[in-house]
A and B are shown apart, each in its own frame.
Chain A
Amino acid sequence: MTFKRIVSGLVIAGVVGGGAFLWLTQPQRLPADVWTAVNAPDLANGERMYHAGGCASCHAAPGAPDDQKNVLAGGLALKSDFGTFHAPNISPDETAGIGQWTLAEFGDAMKQGTGRDGEHLYPSFPYASYAHMTVQDIADLYGYLKTLPASANVAPGHDLPFPFNVRLVLGGWKWLYLDDGPRVELASADDSVKRGQYLVEGPGHCGECHTPRDILGGLKTDQWLAGGPNPEGEGRVPDITPREGGFGSWSAGDIASYLETGFTPDFDSVGGSMVAVQKNMAALSKEDRDAIAAYLKAIPAR
């Protein structure tokens, strides 16, 4: 009798606890008035966010020539330790793309990782970084994406093994890792460094590749931008903290020049996934590239 009571007590506790966990980690939406309070979209700023965010690097059709990069037809395969993700069509097509999404739905995807149907999105879409973006910048980006060409391409779904194909587990991931606070403490930060922090930690989502991940795929924020094994193949993603004997030898001017021209101080040319990123960075203003460089000089060396 006592034994049965203990067992049934444990079962009830398990059900209640599991239920509470699912309730706590259910997909979140921001209050609707967040999105009605914004100004009319500034399309020039939206285009800046589009380049800073690198949307085309994943969402353009794989191998699309430069003049077709703004057709966000989707389909690129992203291989990871958890399976293969496929970037969806985010062109303004009414059925294949996101043409019917409201600003609130788009914004909840960007800031909360919540999809249009109220499902958890996979963090291969870097909402853990985009969560740092301002509501107005997201509204401007939303307005700009509407101006791009529509594509009827139906991108393939993700190809993930169990348990990663169960979206409910992502609630736990978000509970552990979705945090829109600053990634590092900066001892002192002028306006340029702060702008750089915003661009790097938010839209630029640099940390998604340049910061090592733990076993559950969360960023090791105590190793912020310290580099790590390349999740997409051979070699390493470089440490871009101002470490002596490493990236610290690059001046702020060297970093800004690299982002503009694609050449390192030794005149090696940009390689790998950074080729596409550098092209996006080249489309930003000089002030923004200088800001990124200033921030990278201001963060702690690892």
Chain B
Amino acid sequence: MKFRTLAAAAMIAAFGAGVVVAADEPQVVRQEMMKKVGGAMGALAGIAKGEKPFDADVVKASLTTMDEVAKAFPDQFPPGSETGAETEAGPKIWEDAAGFKAESDKFAASIEAVLASPPADQAAVGPALGSLGASCKSCHEVYRVKK
């Protein structure tokens, strides 16, 4: 009985430690970053489609979230993180690191251009979203392998 309890405790500890380590892995960190961008895009799209009321603060917060991710994103691909955790990172990220950084910088620059004069009403959100969405796709098509 005592052995079983110890074994169970050890397993729980090992499992718990595994989860903690996994959450720190770059593969997981960057997946979470992309989910944040997706969430921000979703908030803007809700406004653009008229499903949510226009709210300048939500617009600004969403753009700021994307900007933060875009700036930090290229640093999340250290050697050794090419595979694992169901990563969809493409091999070109490492083969053409400069090109990848340039795409990320371009994304950050386009977000900052929108932030400099943010959409002032509902009608202006859609076009802004369109320009940012094009950046998502152009980078994904080269540097992401969809599984």
Contacts and interface: CB of A to CB of B under 8 A. Distances in A.
Most B-side CB within 10 Å, residue of A266, A269, A272, A274: A269
B140 A269 contact: yes
Nearest to B43: A267
Interface string A259-302: 00111011111111011000000000000000000000000000
B144 interface: yes
Contact of A270 (B37, B41, B137, B147): B137
B146 A266 contact: no
B23 interface: no
Contacts of A266: 35, 38, 42
Contacts of B34: 268
Interface residues of B, number: 18
Given A261-B133, A262-B137, A275-B141, A267 B45 contact: yes
B145 A263 contact: no
Contacts, number: 43
B141 A263 contact: no
A267 B88 CA distance: 15
A272 to B, nearest CB: 4
Nearest to B146: A271
Interface in B66-88: 88
Interface string B18-46: 00000000000000001101110110010
Contact of B133 (A235, A236, A263, A274): A263
Interface of B: 34-35, 37-39, 41-42, 45, 88, 133, 136-137, 140-141, 144-147
